[in-house]
Structure 1
Amino acid sequence: MCGVNHKSFARPGYLIDVSADSIAAKGALFTRLLAHHGEVGLTGEQIAGLLDLSCEYHGRQIEIRIEMARLAEEIEHKRGRLEARAIAERKPLLDRRAELFRADEALFFTFAARGHELLSDDQLDRIDRIYHAEKDAGLAALARSLCNAVSPTFYFGPAVTS
């Protein structure tokens, strides 16, 4: 086992990161849909609509994240002892940052739903199949490593030694 105390060291085997990141996509939405536009059968109008939504989402997300960064700087304790009064004064700022974190995730779901409104049920079924096939292939490629990170006895194939 590595003896270096890496940043965010709660990562057994360096495969699992337990940070408190938002589930919201960063920057762009619908990338898989757009990458598979032919297989999914997207029309030019649908592609333009998805691109417009992605652009609007990104702009609104940047606004939220700029405000979160501004608040983080304001919350930061810069000098001296951190006393109860200073902590209490930061509570409204911490609450606002938590609200913005929630807004960021809600924004993701709002825009994803708006994108789904542009698609037929058949197109959604096609992209679901593509997504799950890609995800399953990625997880299958990592299966031995993930199992060995937890315990070599969890994997029923040949032991991985490197």
Structure 2
Amino acid sequence: MCDVNHHGFTRPGYLIDVKAESIAAEGALFTRALAHYANAGLTDHQIRGLLDVSREYHAEQLTIRVRMAQLGEQAEQKRGRLTPERLAERKVLLDERAELFRADEELFFTYAARGQELLTDEQLELISDIYHAEKDEGLSALERALSAAIGPNYQFTRTVAL
């Protein structure tokens, strides 16, 4: 019998569930820049370069994530009692997972920097403006949905990161 509350089971009292997840983009990089290639004035060379960076990033990330999944499966408690010996065995697996988690995030920054080398400062600024406009639009839609769910007397406040 597995005694862990896995995802998908009811967890009452949670509207928003915050998980310890990597900040690394999932699978692809520069999707916004590529989606707005005309507005950003990307050349064919820049587009091909960003696609190559994204493909290489995804391949390396997949290797890391598969190994993390393997280690997670090995570490999972499936039967019996967690004895000190079994905990010690899992510590080795968890240490490797932690190293891979960090490698995943470092990979993100390494490949983001490689892609940015292909772009001008003006293009980076324009892509950043597009990102923030899309993010603000999404947050406004979320705020309206939450306000409708909670009621008209609740006020949301926004903080601005500097």
The alignment of Structure 1 onto Structure 2 pairs a total of residues equal to 150
> Which consecutive unaligned segments of at least 5 residues does structure 1 have?
157-162
Q: Quote the Cα distance in structure 1 between the aligned partners of 2:144 and 2:12.
A: 20
Give 1:145 shift. 3.1
Structure with the higher fraction of residues in helix conformation: 1
Counterparts of 1:81-120 in structure 2, within 5 Å, are 81-120=81-120
SS for the counterpart of 1:154 is coil
* TM-aligned CA distance change 1:152 to 1:88, over 3 Å: farther
CA distances 1:85-138 after superposition (whole Å, capped 9, x unpaired): 110121111011011111111111111111111100000111011111111111
TM-score in terms of structure 2 length: 0.83
**In angstroms, what is the RMSD of aligned CA positions?**
2.3
Give 5+ residue unaligned stretches, structure 2.
1-6, 157-162
TM-score normalized with structure 1 length: 0.83
Alpha-carbon distance change, 20 to 150 in structure 1, aligned in 2, over 3 angstroms:
farther
Q: Secondary structure at the match of 1:153?
A: coil
TM alignment of 1:1-162, pairs within 5 A: 7=9, 9=11, 12-13=14-15, 16-147=16-147, 153-155=153-155
> SS in structure 2 opposite 1:125?
helix
The structural deviation recorded for 1:146 is 3.6
Q: What is the alpha-carbon distance in structure 1 between the residues aligned to residue 63 and residue 131 of structure 2?
A: 29
